[in-house]
Structure 1
Amino acid sequence: MKSQLSSSTEDYVKTIYAFTEWQDAPITSSQLAARLGVANSSVSEMVRKLKDLGLVDHRPYGAVRLTQEGRRVALTMVRRHRLLETFLVSELGYSWDEVHVEAELLEHAVSDLFVERLAAKLGNPARDPHGDPIPTAEGTVPRIDAHRLSELDPGHTGRIARISDENPDLLRYLAQERISLDTDVTVVRRKPFGGPLVVRIDEGDGSRDFDVADEVAGAVWVRNGPPHAGCALEPGS
């Protein structure tokens, strides 16, 4: 059955989850307002509603954390969103920088039955076009052991496992530079005086060095080993 929660409620819990998915610090009300593009007063009112619904824990001036039920709702929405993104790319020919907004619109309209049939049609994929893990119907999340490119030392070799979809321009730029998921990379060096990070891109029949700006290095995640290897399931609770 489709959730009886409002679209706004679903957006809030999904945003809270997404903020902490790739780092440990919980989200604050002001950060939530910035990510959703709404006033702080609107966030304060909605957080009170979410707390009344049992979806978040929050104390005045403190961080906002999902409850077990809030996490369940968030994972349901994340699953919808990422399956829709995958469908738009693999079946309708969208590019990876176009799908986020479309999926935001569609995720509130489709039924649970549609989502599960879509998952089956796609072969129950473990990740979306940007490398973000797709939660299972049971609420488990494929865990990816990956690190930001900006955190890696010279000599580190791995494969690109995830690229943040926050900035469509960055995605278009990487596509133009033929850099995508599962690209093999080696960290070469950091250029002096605050210069860019130099990485070596393996293109199968050769390699090339590429200068990576800080914004790009912070948005690209790299893991060791072949694609999808060592992908464990993290409980959704």
Structure 2
Amino acid sequence: MIAQTARSAQCCEIAHTETVEDYLRTIFKLAGRGLAVTTSALAEQLGVSPPTVSAMLKRLEASELIDRSAARSIVLTPHGDRHATGVTRRHRLVETFLVEVVGLDWDEVHVEADVLEHAISERLENRIDTLLGHPTHDPHGDPIPPRDGEHVESWAAALGSVPSGSRFRVQRVADDDSNALRYLAERDIKPGAILEVMSREPFNGPIWVTVGARSHALGLTLADLVHGETA
């Protein structure tokens, strides 16, 4: 049974259940990373079958939350984007609250926020925002959409694309893999860290980086989770 969210969306024909909000936020996330939003990509991200995704996409399209007329990609309508941005804002505020107030580690909060993002009221959301001092980014470096105004969801270059000899400032780290987050944190690779890119092994070998006085070898899969700019 699909659980009902604590919020209502009177402007939509579709009930904004947890499942609906999960779909909207996932579409928002994939599009923000510049990835093609397809049925198979959503199925992989959400851990459901492609037929299940197709059925939900029909409902979202009927409610004018998504547009599937674009070739081979699903796009949020302005209406859908507004709801997706709201869910994303709650998710990232909750992650920040769980780290800064509750004391959880950054690799623990994504799953918890997946649950709590559907349950908090607008009043509680605003109180959390005020308590935290209106943060602009969550613990992973993801920008927190403002309550009002424009929001730009963009990703800087991945560490895996940076040439040897570069200084690299970490801005964002993809938060899908808690084990990867834990591994990176143990090596002080978090938003704000400055890395020295020392060398790249051939044939898709690891990238050697120095953080402070320590050197680490990062495989390309891991390095591509870390985004930032040359410093």
TM-score (normalised: structure 2): 0.89
8 Å contact kept, 1:145–1:223: no
Separation of aligned partners in 2, 1:192 and 1:43: 39
Q: 2:30 aligns with which of 8, 12, 19?
A: 19
Residues 139-195 of structure 1 deviation map (CA, whole Å, 9 limit, x = unaligned): 532566621000111122121111111110111111222322211112121123432
Aligned to 1:36: 46
Decide whether aligned partners of structure 1 residues 88 and 45 sit closer, same or farther in structure 2, where only a CA change above 3 A counts. Answer: same
8 Å contact kept, 1:83–1:119: yes
Secondary structure of the structure 2 residue equivalent to 1:137: coil
Q: 1:213 aligns with which of 210, 213, 219?
A: 219
Q: Is 1:147 matched up with 2:136?
A: no
Aligned to 1:7: 18
Identity over the aligned pairs, expressed in percent?
38
Secondary structure of the structure 2 residue equivalent to 1:117: helix
Query: Any unmatched runs of 5+ in structure 1?
Result: 226-237
Q: CA RMSD in A?
A: 1.9
Provide the aligned length of Structure 1 versus Structure 2: 220
Residues 9-55 of structure 1 deviation map (CA, whole Å, 9 limit, x = unaligned): 111010000011122x3311111111111111111111010011110
Residues 53-107 of structure 1 deviation map (CA, whole Å, 9 limit, x = unaligned): 1100014983211101111100000000000000000000101111011111111
Aligned to 1:232: none
Query: Any unmatched runs of 5+ in structure 2?
Result: 1-5, 10-15
Q: 1:181 aligns with which of 184, 188, 191?
A: 191
Separation of aligned partners in 2, 1:14 and 1:199: 33
Q: Which amino acid aligns with 2:223?
A: A
1:88-237 aligned at under 5 Å gives the runs: 88-141=98-151, 146-201=156-211, 203=212, 207-225=213-231
Secondary structure of the structure 1 residue equivalent to 2:202: coil
Q: Is 1:83 matched up with 2:88?
A: no
Separation of aligned partners in 2, 1:224 and 1:47: 39
Separation of aligned partners in 2, 1:140 and 1:224: 26
8 Å contact kept, 2:37–2:73: yes
Separation of aligned partners in 2, 1:3 and 1:147: 38
8 Å contact kept, 2:195–2:209: yes
8 Å contact kept, 1:76–1:139: no
Q: Is 1:68 matched up with 2:68?
A: no
TM-score (normalised: structure 1): 0.87
Decide whether aligned partners of structure 1 residues 143 and 40 sit closer, same or farther in structure 2, where only a CA change above 3 A counts. Answer: closer
Aligned to 1:235: none
